[in-house]
Structure 1
Amino acid sequence: MTPHSFAICAYKDSPYLEACIRSLKAQTVKSDILLCTSTPSPFLKELCERYGIPMFIRHGESSIRDDWNFAYHKADSRYVTIAHQDDCYHKDYVKTLAAYAEKYPDMTLFTSGYAVVKDNKLATFEAVEFIKRILRLPLRLKVFSHLPAVKRSALIFGNSICCPVCAYHKERLGEPLFTSPYRFALDWDTLYKLSGMPGRFVCVERPLMFYRVHQEATTKACIADNSRTREEAEMFRKIWPEPVVKLLMHFYRKAYKEYE
């Protein structure tokens, strides 16, 4: 078993996929790379052949949860990062992960800050990410970040952790990793579940991933069909009484403008 794998989840033919692959190939500490898809195509096959990446096909209807679990399963490594096809990774992502994995053997989740890319340009300031950075502050107290209360404190006002930048300790967390019924809040619900399990969450407040916001993103679609609103409200109800839920959702709806 290797120390770490990037398992790319590819859906249809993303124009940003090659940039993602190139960023993984450019890591200063090399890592295994594989691509998993439920929508195989000549485009994906050609890219995998060009970059020497194995491609695994999941048969059946496309599903975010099932596709992510399939990619996680196919990665034969201690840590697994489910790489999203539209995003790019800083060249020191694996190097930083490896350093903290050695320092904290009980680390079940590694995460970091991220930068937002809009219209192929790096955003200079994003209010939503700034707020999330504040919410992640407890996780920077690494001496306490094995405590469930500390881990959950980064999740009780919303999901402050960006899913594509997460690396999961597969040996400790087991399979399947993603068991939530949600589509949009799948990652938040999963992280909330993991926060109650033994192990340390380690957050490095450095932008080690470039998160692309664009019109075809799943997040945009979930806003359009109101599934994001419904699922986020249900997540808050797991944590807070109804009056607090209504107050939090008032501010969350304003955050949706990031995707307009």
Structure 2
Amino acid sequence: MKVDISREHTFVVCAYKESQYLEECIQSVLNQNIKSNVIISTGTPNSYIKEVAEKYKLQLFVNPNPSSLASDWNFAMGCAKTELVTLAHQDDVYEKDYSENIWKAYNKSKNPIILFSDYAELRNGKRVLKNKLLTIKRVMLSPLKIPAFWNSKFIRRRILSFGSAICCPAVTMVKSMMPSNLFEDNMKSNIDWQAWERLSKKTGAFVYVPIPLMEHRIHEESTTSDLLKDSARRDEDLIVFRKFWPRPVALLIERVYQKGEKSNQLK
């Protein structure tokens, strides 16, 4: 029997300008084993995004005040009417069983705040399941393979204190647990890591599904790759590390972290 969770879960596809990968992302969320609701949100309305929305018969929401990435993501969250919301980044692709696995994890967890899966990378059109950065993140998240630790503030804060191990598009948020304007408008790249730090203080569960259920695309036009070319990312990393550590320790961890982040660039 087919399961329909569209009344409980929404993929909000966050569209920006004219991405050549937008349709591939949309197709991946429409082709889930169990069907979720799918809508599109954008802060850069144009004829291309409108045509794609019409082609797939998807409702399109336009941010009337698109001041930043945080503004667009907060607006996108508000567009979803379901309890579970996944902000699908337009360049990324989801496995057919993403919704199914998140739904199962949601139903067996206690007071969930966010649910997120492991992920792979897409580099030059190829799925990459293992590299240095992915291995480090999996090691960092390994304590959350144990469901007994899902509700531990100490465990998740220790994980986040050493870097951004949670891949933003792999996350499904429980809307009733979200503060208003979850994403703060003070950064360009680390607004997700900062949001998880904020949520890590709440009582509830960080639910981890240790299966690669989506692919995060690495390409030269991505925001992360662009920021890694200058000091902006390093400054933002230090801001978040300071939420966990005194400045001397934060500086030391940040230097080590920078070496790992270089693998996010295409060779």
TM-score interval, normalised by the smaller of the two chains: over 0.9
| 1:93 match | 98
In the alignment, the residues of structure 1 paired with residue 205 and residue 106 of structure 2 have an alpha-carbon distance, to the nearest angstrom, of 10
| 1:19 match | 24
Report the Cα offset of residue 137 of structure 1. Answer: 1.3
Unaligned runs of 5+ in 1: none
SS at 2:262's partner residue? helix
In the alignment, the residues of structure 2 paired with residue 247 and residue 177 of structure 1 have an alpha-carbon distance, to the nearest angstrom, of 28
SS at 2:181's partner residue? coil
| 2:212 match | 207
1:174-213 alignment runs, 5 A limit: 174-179=179-184, 181-213=186-218
Amino acid of the structure 2 residue aligned with 1:198: T
1:132-171 alignment runs, 5 A limit: 132-171=137-176
In the alignment, the residues of structure 1 paired with residue 9 and residue 110 of structure 2 have an alpha-carbon distance, to the nearest angstrom, of 14
TM-score, structure 1 as length reference: 0.96
Report the Cα offset of residue 62 of structure 1. Answer: 4.3
Report the Cα offset of residue 181 of structure 1. Answer: 1.9
Whether contact under 8 Å (1:138, 1:153) holds in the other structure is no
SS at 2:187's partner residue? coil
Report the Cα offset of residue 61 of structure 1. Answer: 3.8
Which of 117, 121, 136 aligns to 2:122? It is: 117
Report the Cα offset of residue 220 of structure 1. Answer: 1.4
In the alignment, the residues of structure 2 paired with residue 58 and residue 88 of structure 1 have an alpha-carbon distance, to the nearest angstrom, of 23
| 1:59 match | 64
Unaligned runs of 5+ in 2: 1-5
SS at 2:72's partner residue? helix
Report the Cα offset of residue 101 of structure 1. Answer: 1.2
TM-score, structure 2 as length reference: 0.93
Report the more deviating stretch, 212-221 or 178-187.
Answer: 178-187
SS at 2:186's partner residue? coil
1:4 aligns with 2:6: no
Whether contact under 8 Å (1:113, 1:205) holds in the other structure is yes
| 1:218 match | 223
Q: 1:195 to 1:124 in 2, by over 3 A?
A: closer
In the alignment, the residues of structure 1 paired with residue 129 and residue 97 of structure 2 have an alpha-carbon distance, to the nearest angstrom, of 21
- Same amino acid, percent of matched pairs: 37
Regions of 4+ moved over 6 Å: none
Amino acid of the structure 2 residue aligned with 1:170: K
Equivalenced residue count is 260
Whether contact under 8 Å (1:8, 1:36) holds in the other structure is yes
Q: CA RMSD in A?
A: 1.4
Report the more deviating stretch, 6-15 or 136-145.
Answer: 136-145
Whether contact under 8 Å (1:180, 1:190) holds in the other structure is no
